[in-house]
Homo-oligomer: A and B are copies of this chain.
Amino acid sequence: MAKVFHLEQIKAVLKKIDPVQEIEKGFVAYSRGEVVVPPIGEMIFEDPPGDTHIKYGYIKKDDYFVIKIASGFLENSKTGLPSGSGMMLLFSQKTGYPEAVLFDEGYLTDVRTAAAGAVAAKYLAPKQVERIGIFGAGIQGRMQLEYLKTVTPCREVVAWGLNREELAAYQKDAAALGFSVQTTLEAAEVAAACNLIVTCTPATAPLLKADQIRKGTHITAMGSDTALKQELDAGILEKADRVVADSISQVMERGESFKAMQAGAIKKEDLLELGNVIIDRSLQRASEDEITVADLTGVAVQDIQITKAVYKKLVTFNQKF
């Protein structure tokens, strides 16, 4: 009989696993060609407007496969409800039987996205991170710090947001995580002060330009996951010593690399893939002066990995207590 878990249970066991390590393993399996990810299923609704996506796949010879269902209905906010929702389904790769339903309400997607940022920083950030720059004072801007904590000792942040109110709230929440945050409405100030930058906004025009970026900076761009969104000017990717995509095939159609290729600033041959960078020391940052960019668009193997890890811990946890 399949087991059913709710958000509070999921949050409780997340503290007992290391999502960064799980996601890292996922990227390695992905770049090794061990992951099967069929085309995404999609339903678009008109009245009210909304969309539902079905992402699914598995690691070959693994015990499980995972189906994620995620929806976004913007008008939910009219009645004070979150626009996003979602669930993770885990099945046995031996029998096809459902093993678990995780009603995570989209939370595990946030976690696996933030954990990917930590993986990118782990392998690409300079050794001495002076200050962390965060673009976007939303959930992901907070969660990035939560997982960056595990890969860098730096606790100084400069945060960019749309207004003072959201930045004040961000500052408070980041302080609770142990970070000292300066805030700004000027993107250039972030670039001038920070050598590890994470962009997590829904921007559709560049927030940062090439001449603003300091030598030795690593930028993880994770807001842009469609063909329309863009956070970095193509010149940044052109200038960068390394551009690392989570999935080279995926960034042919979306994300910062897509935009930079469209602009003629970089070529497909210039791209590295994160899983390969993790495996091969020679593909990682070679000096403290390099500028590096990680272009993260979100890959189903992240959903697979986080769901498996949480499930395994939920089962142990619920047996014990």
Contact = CB atoms under 8 A, between A and B. Distances in A.
A176 interface: no
Interface in A219-259: none
Interface string A54-69: 1011100100010101
Contacts of A69: 67, 89, 91, 98
Interface in A1-56: 1-2, 4, 6, 36, 38-39, 41-43, 45, 47-48, 50-52, 54, 56
Interface string A272-293: 0000000000000000000000
A87 B96 contact: no
A115 B222 CA distance: 48
Contacts of A103: 1-2, 98
Contact of A36 (B2, B43, B54): B43
Contacts of A93: 45, 50
A54 B76 contact: no
A97 interface: yes
A306 interface: no
A38 B38 contact: no
B48 A38 contact: no
- Copies of this chain, tallied across the complex: 2
A271 to B, nearest CB: 28
A72 B2 CA distance: 17
15 contacts: A1-B103, A4-B101, A36-B43, A41-B41, A41-B54, A52-B65, A52-B91, A71-B95, A71-B96, A73-B94, A73-B96, A81-B95, A81-B97, A87-B89, A101-B101
Interface of A: 1-2, 4, 6, 36, 38-39, 41-43, 45, 47-48, 50-52, 54, 56-58, 61, 65, 67, 69, 71-73, 76, 81, 85, 87, 89, 91, 93-98, 101, 103
